[in-house]
Structure 1
Amino acid sequence: MSSVAEKLQRKEHRSSSSKQVRLKLVYIDFWSVVKFSFLIWLCLGIVLVVATALVWIVLNSTDVFTKLDALLRDILGNENFSITDAFGLGQVLLFSFVVAVLNTVTGTILGALGALLYNLSVRFTGGLLVGFQNN
């Protein structure tokens, strides 16, 4: 009697038929790209605001701002100087929110321009050849 491993070794391996499809990407829907790029940049803007808040909270809780205040008071000689007055959580979050809004607007515009330029360049290049394979 032979073992199961020997039976499997003797068994012929059938080649699985894999299908290949090659497609040309000749058009990108303009409004789909605008909506998609807006959502991507909106998510990145939210991440930016949350990350800024977390970094400020960590720096404040580890007393980095108080040590920096003491160092700048020694350098400047001004006893009333406080870095948290100039860069409080509200000011930092407002600045990061403005940057996030500007990034969202410019990212959406750049995505729209990219789609427009791709659709115009397809007339000259014929499109992007994309291959898919089924295993």
Structure 2
Amino acid sequence: MSGVSQSLQRKSPTKRTGGKQIRLRLQNIDFWSAMKLAAVVGFVLAVIQIVVTIIMWLLLEILGVFAKVDELLQDLLASSQFTLMDFVSLPSVILFSVIVGLLNFVVITILGALAALIYNRSVPLTGGLLMGFTNQ
């Protein structure tokens, strides 16, 4: 070791815990468990997405953003019949958000299962993850 690393090692406080440290290697991730966990995460994210979309739409409606955009578009298009609410009404926004949430749920579930499969296939090459645990 170099002089710098030796002096840093001497200066660093050594804390000894009373527990025993165990090192374990993760060799396999259960495919179905990974898929179920990914499905739960995907479902929770889809629900969060739908709720946030509804809250944002209501907030924009309360603040009058849609009315201001309607006025701007009516001036630009010189058409008094055009309204933004024909395209972004609350039911259509909720429907779009539900469709995107369902697609995200499917994609997240598939990606979680695929990640477990890729990890399980790469363990013979990489040796897996080495984790340390301490008993306290």
Assess same fold via TM > 0.5.
yes
User: Which secondary structure state, in structure 1, belongs to the residue aligned with residue 35 of structure 2?
Assistant: helix
- 1:76 partner amino acid: L
Q: TM-score if structure 1 supplies the norm length? A: 0.86
- 2:96 partner amino acid: F
Take 1:43 and 1:130, find their aligned partners in 2: how far apart are those partners?
28
Structure 1: state its 5+ residue gaps: 1-14
Q: Report the RMSD for the aligned CA atoms in angstroms.
A: 1.1
Larger radius of gyration: 1
In structure 2, the residue matched to 1:62 is: 63
User: Which secondary structure state, in structure 2, belongs to the residue aligned with residue 98 of structure 1?
Assistant: helix
Aligned counterparts, 1:35-114, within 5 A: 35-114=36-115
Take 2:39 and 2:99, find their aligned partners in 1: how far apart are those partners?
16
Cα separation, partners in 2 of 1:87 and 1:25, compared to 1, 3 Å = same
Shift of 1:16: 4.8
Structure 1: 4+ residue segments shifted above 2 A: none
Shift of 1:86: 1.1
* Percent of pairs with identical residues: 45
User: Which secondary structure state, in structure 1, belongs to the residue aligned with residue 34 of structure 2?
Assistant: helix
1:56-82 C-alpha deviation (Å, 9 max, x unpaired): 000001111011100110010010111
Shift of 1:25: 0.2
Take 1:124 and 1:73, find their aligned partners in 2: how far apart are those partners?
63
1:74-103 C-alpha deviation (Å, 9 max, x unpaired): 010010111011110011111111000000
- 1:20 partner amino acid: Q
In structure 1, the residue matched to 2:25 is: 24
In structure 2, the residue matched to 1:122 is: 123
Q: TM-score if structure 2 supplies the norm length? A: 0.86
1:16-66 C-alpha deviation (Å, 9 max, x unpaired): 522101000000000000000000010000000000000000000111101
